[in-house]
Chains A and B, each alone.
Chain A
């Protein structure tokens, strides 16, 4: 409203142009990622660089498979992301429901403690997490990624808020009167009502795990168990990088996210900024 409604048509079109050109610039790196993924290294390193798709995609993917266990890495990424999402949804919905609907000792203090650690910078836990994983013998084990990830402070916050706003207390009382057990109430009454929030948290968790770099960097050691970001990183060498193959790998790592974003952009944008908007 405001500023532009009342301004001249010329100013208006200038604003449209600016926003549009900016949007194209934002998308340009993705364009070149996909274009370069279909070119050989020599073609990428020509002047001017290629602007349109070539026909080396399959060759690039083959190089990827030869240089690193790429498809295994892709599989691990998917496995860790799915396991992480499933555990997070289960544990956070249980915990969020408990925080929202029950009274128990140390509830406030516990919730504050969980929220407090969410505000801490991620580098704080980098070193001790390695040591805990080392002590547990979980180094190089994918479970070192998805099990700790399930204790998501953001997840428990989101679930608690949503239970408070979407699950009426009377409903739980009614279920109790009908003789439904407490876990049954959670599973059959509360959980179905949480679907929208579960969807949001699921998307956010999946994407977070898929993109996670620091976690794998610290706990994974052998190229066989690398997740995608780490595998791509290992392909980067100052002297002899197969850029076409690397771009193909980056494109494979990016494509699922672009598809997810295309399908659920509104929910994703809301989910990723929810903490912000709720203040």
Chain B
């Protein structure tokens, strides 16, 4: 239990903490509540055991074997469907195999699958697309989420959960359903996006910056990636706002009061108190965005015809490509090799981010 945190906070800040801890995890049940629930549950426990004897004895498990019995279902599933497939895919990466020819047809090919992947033009293209989308879909989320979280933190009390809900709700809805809606909004001749751009193109000044013809968002290789990135941004920006709101609540208010007394303006306070205070959250949020962005599958899969990655493979992410490698081209060995290469890339990039933003954090 975090004694330090619970005891020290009221002393540092005499005002009660802001209500509406939207981002507080339920697991943080305060100590007092624990004691209370313990007391009430203790009586429940003896009541339960009093009612028990008749039936309970048949299923009696000793305290020594209890953890194994309790863990058995979970661990069985974990081994069969979690760990085994993973190890198997490592084996598969060194094999040549087509699913149609049965497991016996598998044979060892050494590093051939990796060599194939690394010399495959589409593999590199898909890696580039993935990285492009992870950056273009990910970085703006944080550039927008940080100031928005500050505004919401400072200015919204009663409407706070409502506003937060509006930003968060895309995160919980079916990617497929919303991606299909976006497909329609992006449609060339009748899509709402082009309709809005077309209307704005008639305005003075602004209009000059906008294209005068309808954009073929999902079929033009140049616009497909930005179109996907917008969907990614829309889906995840709310998640980051929640993260940063939690981060803002952890910054002591007296820092701001002291800064105000010292005559620091809002911008200076933001730069010298808020941003440094949010740094652990920024590190965490950016890592999540990048790791998530590098796995991007559903958004490009739905937005491109037949999930093929679009014309000129402009929207084919690495995850989409390895799906196609396995299920369109039936090369499971190469697909497995690619998944491990991608995994190494994800690990390396995560590590680099930690080095970069995490400097001085630990």
Contact = CB atoms under 8 A, between A and B. Distances in A.
Interface of A: 1-7, 11-12, 15-16, 18-20, 22-24, 26-27, 29-30, 32-33, 36, 44-49, 90-92, 94-95, 97-99, 102-104, 107, 110, 113-114, 117, 120-132, 134-135, 147-148, 150-151, 153, 156, 158, 161-162, 165-166, 168, 170-171, 174-176, 178-186, 188-189, 192-193, 196-197, 200, 207, 210-211, 213-214, 218, 228-230, 232-233, 236, 238, 243, 246-247, 249-251, 253-254, 257-258, 260-261, 265-274, 276-279
Contacts of A15: 151, 154-155
Contact of A278 (B27, B63, B167): B27
Nearest to A176: B63
Interface in B8-44: 22-29, 34-35, 37-38, 41-42, 44
Nearest to A134: B99
Contacts of A129: 81, 85
Interface string B236-273: 01110011001000000100100110000111011001
A192 B339 contact: no
Contact of B266 (A7, A19, A130, A213): A7
Main secondary structure of the interface of B (DSSP, over half): helix
Nearest to A276: B243
Contact of A156 (B41, B74, B274, B288): B74
Nearest to B50: A178
Given A46-B190, A132-B85, A273-B243, 8 more contacts: A2-B266, A20-B163, A120-B86, A178-B49, A188-B49, A238-B305, A257-B174, A269-B242
B217 interface: no
B78 interface: yes
Contact of A32 (B23, B185, B260, B280): B185
Given A32-B185, A97-B70, A124 B339 contact: yes
A30 B46 CA distance: 51
5 closest cross-chain pairs (CB), A and B: A128-B85, A148-B81, A180-B49, A102-B67, A151-B77
A258 B187 CA distance: 26
B1 interface: yes
B28 A151 contact: no
Nearest to B84: A132
B167 A29 contact: no
Interface residues of B, number: 136
B323 interface: yes
Contacts of A272: 171-172, 239
Given A183-B61, A278-B25, A128 B294 contact: no
Interface string B121-147: 000000000000000000000001000
A210 B24 CA distance: 25
A45 B266 contact: no
Contact of A178 (B46, B68, B305): B46
A32 to B, nearest CB: 7
A128 B336 contact: yes
Nearest to A163: B27
B291 A121 contact: yes
A126 B59 CA distance: 39
B47 to A, nearest CB: 9
Contact of B169 (A19, A27, A123, A124): A27
Among B42, B71, B156, B239, the most chain A Cβ lie within 10 Å of the Cβ of B71
Contacts of B74: 91-92, 94-95, 150-151, 156
Nearest to B294: A121
A5 B265 CA distance: 11
Contact of B70 (A94, A131, A260, A274): A94
A185 B26 CA distance: 23
A130 B170 contact: no
Contacts of B68: 98, 104
A94 B73 contact: yes
Given A26-B169, A33-B181, A127 B332 contact: yes
Contact of A95 (B70, B170, B183, B239): B70
B62 interface: yes
A4 B52 contact: no
19 contacts: A2-B256, A3-B274, A16-B151, A22-B167, A26-B166, A26-B167, A98-B71, A121-B291, A121-B342, A126-B319, A162-B26, A174-B45, A175-B46, A196-B26, A211-B175, A258-B173, A261-B165, A269-B22, A273-B242
A125 B86 contact: yes
**A49, A131, A162, A232: residue with the most chain B Cβ atoms closer than 10 Å:** A131
B27 to A, nearest CB: 5
B178 interface: yes
Nearest to A243: B184
A193 B346 CA distance: 39
A117 B84 CA distance: 11
